[in-house]
Amino acid sequence: MFQLLQPLMLFSLLGLAIPVAIHLWNRKRGQRIKVGSIALLKETQSRRMSSIRMNEVGLLLVRCLLLAVLALLLAGPRWLTTQNKRRTWVLVSPELLSGLADSTGQVRRAVDTLLKSGSELRMLTKDFPAFSLQNIPVLRDTVQVTSEYWSLLRELDWKLPAQTSVVLLTAEKLHALRGSRPTVNLDVQWLTFDATRAANHQLVDAYLTSTDSIRVQIGKSSSEGNSCQTLILPVKAGVYPAADNSLKLTNHSTQWQVSLAGGPATPVDTNTYSLAIYAGKNFAEDARYVRAACEAIAHFTKRKITIDYITSQTTTPRQCDWLFWLSRDSLPKVWLTRTTTVLTYPTKAANHLPVESSWLQLPQPLAHPVRLYQGFSADLAGEAIWRDGYGRPVLTFSEKNKAGVYRFSSRFHPEWNDLVWHEAFPEVLLSLFNNHLWLSEKKTVNQYDQRRIDVAQLFPQGRSSSIKESRQVPDVKPLREPLWLLALVLFVAERWVTGRTRKQISREIAV
Task: Please give the C-alpha separations between residue 34 and each of 31, 43, 125, in angstroms, as whole numbers.
Answer: 10, 17, 83
Question: What burial class does residue 506 get, using C-beta atoms within 10 Å of its C-beta: 0-12 exposed, 13-18 middle, 19+ buried?
Answer: exposed
- Report pTM: 0.57
**CATH code of residue 310:** 3.40.50.880
280 and 257, same structural domain? no
503 and 373, same structural domain? no
Identify the CA nearest to 415 among candidates 362, 363, 352, 365.
352
- Domain assignment present for 442: no
425-436 and 284-301 are packed helices; what angle lies between their axes, rounded to 10 degrees?
Answer: 70
135 and 97, same structural domain? yes
Taking only the tens place, the pLDDT of each residue in 193-202 is: 876 555 577 8
239 and 206, same structural domain? yes
Cα–Cα distance for residue pair 439/434, rounded to 1 Å: 5
Q: CA-CA-CA-CA torsion for 19, 21, 24, 28, nearest 10 degrees?
A: -70
204 and 319, same structural domain? no
Of 214, 236, 270, at which residue does a domain stop? 270
Cα–Cα distance for residue pair 60/438, rounded to 1 Å: 72
- Residues 6 or more apart whose CB falls under 8 angstroms from that of 188 comprise 153, 166, 168, 459, 460
Cα–Cα distance for residue pair 197/168, rounded to 1 Å: 21
Of 246, 270, 294, at which residue does a domain stop? 270
The percentage of residues in the chain with a pLDDT greater than 90, rounded to a whole number, is 20
158 and 62, same structural domain? no
Pick 344 or 23 by higher pLDDT: 344
Taking only the tens place, the pLDDT of each residue in 403-449 is: 889 999 999 999 999 999 999 999 999 989 987 776 544 444 555 67
* pLDDT score at 470: 37
Distinct helix (H) and strand (E) counts, the chain: 11, 25
* pLDDT score at 146: 60
Pick 138 or 195 by higher pLDDT: 138
Of 436, 462, 492, at which residue does a domain stop? 436
* pLDDT tier at 327, thresholds 50, 70, 90: very high
- Residues 6 or more apart whose CB falls under 8 angstroms from that of 132 comprise 121
* pLDDT score at 426: 94
- Domain assignment present for 348: yes
Segment 143-164 shows an average pLDDT of 79
Identify the CA nearest to 318 among candidates 271, 269, 278, 280.
278
pLDDT of residue 211 exceeding 90? no
- Domain assignment present for 20: yes
- Domain assignment present for 41: no
- Domain assignment present for 146: yes
Domain count of the fold of the chain: 4
What is the pLDDT of the chain when averaged over all its residues?
Answer: 80
354 and 237, same structural domain? no
244 and 104, same structural domain? no
114 and 230, same structural domain? no
The tally of CA atoms less than 13 A away on the side-chain side of residue 5 is 12
Choice among 4-8, 112-116, 323-327, 405-409 with the minimum mean pLDDT:
4-8
- Do 348 and 316 contact (CB within 8 A), yes or no? no
- Domain assignment present for 34: no
Segment 10-17 shows an average pLDDT of 83
Taking only the tens place, the pLDDT of each residue in 88-97 is: 899 888 888 8
- Do 107 and 113 contact (CB within 8 A), yes or no? no
Provide the domain limits for residue 12: 2-27+51-81+479-510
* pLDDT tier at 55, thresholds 50, 70, 90: low
Taking only the tens place, the pLDDT of each residue in 359-392 is: 888 877 777 889 999 888 877 788 888 988 887 8
- Domain assignment present for 502: yes
Pick 52 or 426 by higher pLDDT: 426
* pLDDT tier at 293, thresholds 50, 70, 90: very high
- Do 173 and 451 contact (CB within 8 A), yes or no? yes
397 and 350, same structural domain? yes
397 and 309, same structural domain? yes
Identify the CA nearest to 457 among candidates 88, 123, 91, 150.
150
Taking only the tens place, the pLDDT of each residue in 245-287 is: 788 899 887 889 998 887 788 899 999 999 999 998 889 999 9
pLDDT of residue 218 exceeding 50? yes
365 and 285, same structural domain? yes
* pLDDT score at 196: 59
* pLDDT tier at 468, thresholds 50, 70, 90: very low
* pLDDT tier at 54, thresholds 50, 70, 90: low
pLDDT of residue 152 exceeding 50? yes
Taking only the tens place, the pLDDT of each residue in 469-505 is: 334 445 677 788 888 898 898 888 888 888 887 777 6
* pLDDT score at 360: 87
- Domain assignment present for 188: yes
* pLDDT score at 292: 96
Residue 193 β-bridge partners: 171
